[in-house]
Amino acid sequence: MNAPATTELPVVVIGAGPAGLAAAAHLVDQGIEPLVLEAGPTAGTAVREWAHVRLFSTWGEVVDPAAEKLLAPTGWTRPDPATYPSGGDWADLYLQPLADVLGDRIRLGATVTGVSRSGRDRLVDADREQQPFIVHIAHGDGQEERLFAHAVIDASGTWATPGPAGGSGLAALGEKAAADRITYRVPDLKDPAVRARYAGKRTAVIGSGASAFTALASLAALAKSDDGAGTKGVWILRRGISGSTFGGGEADQLPARGALGLAAKAAVEEGQADAVTGFRTEAIEHDAGGRLVLVGEDGRRLDAVDEVIVLTGFRPDLSFLDELRLGLDERLQAPVDLAPLIDPNQHSCGTVYPHGHRELSHPEQGVYLVGMKSYGRAPTFLAMTGYEQVRSVAAAIAGDLESADRLELTLPETGVCGGAGLFDEPEPTQADGGCCATPATLQIGVGAPATPGGC
C-alpha cells in the first residue's frame, strides 16, 4: 500500500483530554482536519478518574478560547468563570460537549501502539521528512489498524504512569506484593466503600505536591468526622520541612492552590497527621499482623500502617514513540528546549515562561508532545499552559509562523521560591531577601515514629 500525499492527510492527535481536544479545536480553526485517537471509552477518560478532586484553577482558566469558539454555535455557555470545577464538572460540562461538537473526528477505544515514518524506521535518513507519519492503533475488540498522518500531536498525558513509592525512582522492594494496600491516586472519601477503607486506619501519604496536600486534607477531614475516629495520616517527605514545603500559601496567585498547602499544614499542626522527614522508601514489608512497614534507605523502620497512598508524580510513556527521533532532556524526559524552563532542580519560583512550537519541536519534524506529556517528569502543569502550547503548534502546522511565535499567555505566580528541593541541600539564598530568599524553617510539631536499624 503506497502512502498518500502528506498534504491530504489529517493531523493525528493522541488523547482526548483537555490538551488533545483543545489541539483539535485549534486545528479546526486553522482549517486543518484533526483525527483524535482516545484509548478510553469517553472523552476525558483520565479526568473522570479524578472526578471527585476540585481543580485549583477557575472555570475562567480551564476553557480554551478556540474550543469556546467552536462550542458557541451550540448555545454552550461557560460556567461562572470565578468558580472552581471538580474533575467531574470539567469532563461533563466542557470536555464532553467539546467532544460532541468534534463528532467523528474523535475515535474512542483506539490505543496508539506505535508511531513512525512510512517506510522509515528511526535509523533511515533518506527522504525521511517527505514521508507521512504512520500510526498503529489497537481497538478494544483486538483489531489492529494503521493510519497515515501529516503531523502527530501527542497529548496522551502521564496519568497512566504514576511514580513509585521507592525513593530512587524504582518500585520499593515489596511494593508490588503490597499492591492491594497501595493506591497511586487521591482517594474519593465521599464514596462509602473507599471511606470505609481509610476510616479509623493509619495511612501513609508519600509525596509533597498538590495531590499529597489534597490527600492529607481529606484524611484530616475524615479524622474529624463522626465515622472517622482513629483515622491518622503519616506524611512521608523525602526532604526536610521549610517555608516552601506547603506551597505558596497566601502568596500564590492561584488562591485555591495555595489553600491546599495551608490545609496540609493544618493537618500536621492539629495532629491529624504526623510528618516524617528525610525518608526515602527502600522497602515495604508486612508485619506479623499483616500491616505494612515502610523501611527507609537509611535503615529507619516506621510504625506500621494499614494503607499507603503514593503521590510521587507521573512520568511519560514514550514506548510507542520509539521509532521517532525525539530530542528529550535526559533528566526530565521533556523536550530539550523546554526543560530549562521547567526544571525543578533549578527553580519553582514565579512564572514558567510561556512557550510554543519552537520549544516543543524535535529532530523529527512534525511531531509534538503537548500538555502534561510535554513536561515529562516535571510537576505543576496548568491547563492554560497546554492551551497556549496547542495554539502555537496548530499555527506552526498551518504554516503561520508569525502567529505560532507570538506568545499570548501570562501565567500566575506560585508564591514558591528557589529550587523545588529534590534532595536535602539547603535552598538557594538571595542576599536581599525577597522571592528567592531562604525560607524560614517552620516549627509545626514534626514527628517521626520510627525505630533505628533493622529491629
Provide the residue-wise pLDDT of the chain in tens; the chain has 455 residues.
Answer: 555 656 689 999 999 999 999 999 999 999 999 999 999 999 999 999 999 999 988 999 999 999 999 999 999 999 999 999 999 999 999 999 999 999 999 999 999 999 999 999 999 999 999 999 999 999 989 999 999 999 999 999 999 999 999 999 999 999 999 999 999 999 999 999 999 999 999 999 999 888 999 999 999 999 999 999 999 999 999 887 655 555 555 555 556 666 777 888 888 889 999 999 999 999 999 999 999 999 999 999 999 999 999 999 999 999 999 999 999 999 999 999 999 988 877 755 445 677 999 999 999 999 999 999 999 998 878 899 999 999 999 999 999 999 999 987 766 555 443 434 444 444 444 333 333 333 333 333 333 333 333 33
- pLDDT at site 445: 33
What is the per-residue pLDDT for 428? 43
Report the alpha-carbon angle 18-21-26, nearest 5: 120
3-class DSSP state for residue 195?
helix
> How far is the C-alpha of 367 from the C-alpha of 24, rounded, in Å?
15
Cell numbers 502534561 correspond to 372
pLDDT reported for residue 290? 94
What's phi and psi for 206, nearest 5 deg? Answer: -105, 120
pLDDT value at residue 242: 58
CA angle 422, 315, 102 (to 5 degrees): 135
Helix (H) or strand (E) holding 216: helix 210-223
d(CA 47, CA 43): 9
Residue for grid cell 529507619: 300
Looking at residue 407, what is its pLDDT?
82
| Rounded CA separation 46/17 (Å) | 7
Q: What is the pLDDT of residue 409?
A: 74
Query: What are the grid coordinates assigned to 4, written together?
Result: 498518500
Measuring CA to CA, which residue among 207, 206, 208 is closest to residue 246?
208
Produce one character per residue of 320-331: b if its CB has 16 or more CB atoms within 10 Å, e if not: bbebbebebbee
What distance lies between CA 2 and its chain's CA centroid?
A: 39
Residue among 268, 272, 305 nearest 182 (CA): 305
User: Based on the number of CB atoms within 10 Å of its own CB, is 104 exposed (0-12), middle (13-18) or buried (19 or more)?
Assistant: exposed
CB count in 10 Å sphere of residue 176: 11
Name which of 411, 98, 373, 260 is nearest 90 in CA terms: 98
Question: Phi then psi for 305, rounded to 5 degrees?
Answer: -125, 165
- Distance, in Å, from the CA atom of 373 to the CA atom of 118, rounded to the nearest integer, reads 24
Going from the C-alpha of 237 to that of each of 118, 166, 179, 208, the distances in angstroms are 47, 12, 21, 6
Q: What is the pLDDT of residues 27-39, one digit of tens each?
A: 999 999 999 999 9
| Phi, psi for 306 (deg, rounded to 5) | -90, -35
User: How much is the pTM?
Assistant: 0.87
**Selection from 155, 194, 162 nearest residue 23 by Cα:** 155
The answer to whether residues 29 and 168 touch, using CB atoms and an 8 Å cutoff, is no
The contacts of residue 415 (CB under 8 Å, 6+ apart) are 247, 248, 249, 250, 251, 252, 253, 258
Q: Residues 213, 247: contact at Cβ < 8 Å? A: yes
